[in-house]
Amino acid sequence: MAKSRAAVPPKDYESALAELEALVGEMESGQLPLEASLAAYKRGAELLQYCRQQLAAAEQQVKILENGTLQPFRTDAADE
């Protein structure tokens, strides 16, 4: 794992999530040395925080669009 990757902010939510999934896979393999595992964990925590912030911002935008109240999600099956 490159040290420079930790300094680079994610391009968007999807790329952050993909990088996070890749990091989890690397860590679960058990093949990383201790120092690389710690760096991966730190980067994963940063990515997780970024994803949570993006989701919170999206939820806030939905609330605004729904006049301040978050509406329950309905599928076509629920309407029948």
pLDDT at position 28 is 94
pLDDT at position 5 is 60
Does the residue 49 lie in any domain?
Answer: yes
Does the residue 38 lie in any domain?
Answer: yes
Does the residue 79 lie in any domain?
Answer: no
Does the residue 77 lie in any domain?
Answer: no
Does the residue 37 lie in any domain?
Answer: yes
What CATH number has the domain bearing residue 27? 1.10.287.1040
Domain of residue 17, residue span: 11-68
Could you tell me the two tokens for 76? 């076509």
Could you tell me the two tokens for 7? 């300094």
Does the residue 2 lie in any domain?
Answer: no
Helices (H), 1-80: 3-7, 13-29, 34-65, 76-79
How do the pLDDT tens digits run along the chain, 80 residues long? 444 566 688 999 999 999 999 999 999 999 999 999 999 999 999 999 999 999 999 888 887 777 766 667 677 654 44
